[in-house]
Amino acid sequence: MPNSINKFIYCAGFLLSVCLVNNAIAEVVHSERSLYRNILVEDNGDLRCLKFNVKSNKTRQSCFNKSQPEQLVFNYTKQLLTGLLVNPEPQRILIIGLGGGTMSNTLHKLLPDSYIDNVEIDHSVIKVAREYFGFLENEQIKTYSQDGRVFVKRAVLKKQEYDWIILDAFNGDYIPEHLMTKEFLEETKSLLSKKGILTANTFSSSKLYGYESATYKAVFGDFYQVSNKDNNNRIILAGKNGLDQNFNRAQEPVSKNGSINKLSIELLAIGVDAKELYQNMKSTAIHQNWSDDNPVLTDQFAPANLLNIDTD
């Protein structure tokens, strides 16, 4: 009995010290309550992070190194770049969900001639990205403070086309359910150019996994999944016209046995290993890790947030 009390005290003390240390290192540079969430900018040494909800550890964040702003810090942002392996020269890029704007900045570095449209529902996030994350906007890089679904619908009406659409609107706490339905994916698909691709940062745990996978498959057919062992993110990479003809192109940067091409060098410069990306790509045509009887999410039926709670 005293032993267990000792253990408890030891545990509590340990936790407390962890908290104290964390608090000592991380410094809150800016915090504000926007219409949609609490926004927090934290400095942790050289690392600056954008957090949306302090207490939840599920919160996805957007971080960058102040001294090396072009380095991608998080796995899932690196994984999103798998899109470049399949479609190396996208002219027009659409990013839904801005975060700190690090993705937009990185892509502008890599593809200085490409046009980038950023869509972010929360105007405060855009302001924070500009002020604290060096989010760059110019003639080629535009930002729209709008709901992603509305932007996509209007863009379809205007017959716009994108070579690469990056869907990163899910911060882990709350899922905008109308951005995960079959109808929405069909709209984004119709925005894609002939060789266009969609990469989406999605969920890999909970019941939602099967539902979401089934929905992507219903719209795009087979797709690539990019995941990491130490990471609960999964990136979906889907093409306008399936993936078969793109598969060989994805091999290019690492094919000729060691001879590395320009893209891999550029990716390496921002902390991304093209070979590793390529190895982590798994086609659902070869192995599909959800059962076929998962229902498809539609505008009529989209309880994504409820499915994400339900883990049984």
Partner 1 sequence: MQASKKSINYNNLFIYFLAFSSGFSIMCIELLAGRILAPFFGSSVHIWGSIITVFMLSLSFGYLLGGKLSTHSASLTRYGAIFIIAGLTLLPIVTSSEWLMESIFLAVEDSRYGSLLASTALFFIPTIILGMLSPYSVRLLVKNSNESGQVAGKLYFVSTLGSAIGTIITSFYLVLWFDINTIVLSVSLVLSLLGITTIALAKVYANFYKAEVQREISHA
Phi, psi of 220, rounded to the nearest 5 degrees: -105, -5
Q: How many residues bind partner 1 (CB under 8 A)?
A: 25
- In 3D, which of 106, 99, 62 has the Cα closest to residue 84? 106
Applying CB under 8 A, among 40, 63, 121, 296 the residue interacting with partner 1 is 121
36 lies in the site for partner 1, by CB under 8 A? yes
Phi, psi of 246, rounded to the nearest 5 degrees: -85, -15
Applying CB under 8 A, among 127, 130, 178, 195 the residue interacting with partner 1 is 178
Is 168 a catalytic site residue? yes
Residues within window 37-96 making contact with partner 1, judged by CB under 8 A = none
Query: What is the rounded CA–CA span in Å between residue 163 and residue 33?
Result: 35
Applying CB under 8 A, among 173, 183, 186, 273 the residue interacting with partner 1 is 183
Applying CB under 8 A, among 20, 28, 54, 306 the residue interacting with partner 1 is 306
8 lies in the site for partner 1, by CB under 8 A? no
Check: CB of residue 217 under 8 Å from CB of residue 185: no
Residues within window 158-177 making contact with partner 1, judged by CB under 8 A = 176-177
Give the nearest distance from C-beta 41 to partner 1 in angstroms.
22
98 lies in the site for partner 1, by CB under 8 A? no
Q: Please, which contacts does 62-70 make with residues 24 or more away whose CB atoms are closer than 8 Å?
A: 62/99, 62/100, 62/101, 62/102, 62/133, 63/100, 63/102, 64/100, 64/102, 64/133, 64/134, 69/102, 69/105, 69/134, 70/105, 70/106, 70/109, 70/269, 70/270
Applying CB under 8 A, among 65, 124, 140, 146 the residue interacting with partner 1 is 146
184 lies in the site for partner 1, by CB under 8 A? yes
Give the nearest distance from C-beta 88 to partner 1 in angstroms.
33
294 lies in the site for partner 1, by CB under 8 A? no
Check: CB of residue 41 under 8 Å from CB of residue 48: yes
Binding residues for partner 1 (CB under 8 A): 35-36, 121, 146-150, 153-154, 157, 176-178, 181, 183-184, 298-303, 306-307
